[in-house]
Copies of this chain bind each other. A is one copy, B any other.
Amino acid sequence: MASETVKLLGSWASPVVLRARIAFNIKSVAYEFVEENFAAKSDLLLKSNPLYKKVPVIIHNQNPVCESLLIVQYIDEVWTSGPAIMPAHPYDRAIHRFWATYIDDTWFPKLQTVATAEDEEARKAAIGEVEEGLGVLEGAFQSCSKGKKFFGGERMGFLDIALGCFMAWIRVTETFNRIKFLDEAKVPGLANWAEDFCTDDAVKDVMPSTEKLGEFAMKIFTHMKPQS
């Protein structure tokens, strides 16, 4: 398709934007990355996602697709010649989608709360909830990976992207709070998986560094600072 155009409206610091980037990398799809300015959203973003006005949005031949998990599925369904992202079996697909929704609706809001907590009690409670959620996800990993490296088995799949996109934010939160979420003693599967995920060819060049993201985090979360 010589005339095909693919744009990604995003932000380098957004974990959910990273989902689209990783999916494009897996499929070896070339795309134009457009960095959005949150203080002055582009007309293209407002027109492409009028309901939520949020990144990521991909625009494929003039057609906008919004919401990161839907974008990853769209990429998988359109560029079928690349490695499959969704598992082959409908049951495994349902399980990947289930846990991806859990991550977005239940687990990630707790990780955000660690940064935005108003006091020490709330911060500690949020840390406990993040750890509890990682325990749940460790169970999901053991069940999905069946002894392989990824949730998707031998290869990275939908659920790897859904959780893995948060790795840099997890590292920043660990550093600032002097804790270790991905502790090999508590979540051995996820601790190893995180290493494999972050060093994967589809991920390593688009995942922001903990240092750069940490500086950004201190700017946007007034409560987020290294704990003494």
Q: Does A220 sit at the interface, judged by CB under 8 A?
A: no
Total number of A residues with any Cβ neighbor in B under 8 Å: 21
B51 touches A70 (CB 8 A): no
Task: Kindly provide the distance from the CB of A36 to the nearest chain B CB, expressed in whole angstroms.
Answer: 19
Main secondary structure of the interface of A (DSSP, over half): helix
* A77 contacts across to B, CB distance below 8 A: 90, 93
Convert A73-114 into 0s and 1s, putting 1 for each residue whose CB lies closer than 8 angstroms to a CB of B.
110011000000000001101100110011000000000000
B91 touches A65 (CB 8 A): yes
Q: Which of B67, B70, B71, B101 contacts A67 (CB 8 A)?
A: B101
Convert A36-57 into 0s and 1s, putting 1 for each residue whose CB lies closer than 8 angstroms to a CB of B.
0000000000000001000000
Measured CB to CB, the nearest residue on chain B to A63 is B91
A164 vs B86: C-alpha distance when bound (angstroms) = 28
Assuming A65-B91, A70-B94, what are 10 further A-B pairs, CB within 8 angstroms? Answer: A65-B94, A65-B98, A66-B98, A67-B97, A67-B101, A70-B101, A73-B97, A74-B90, A74-B93, A77-B93
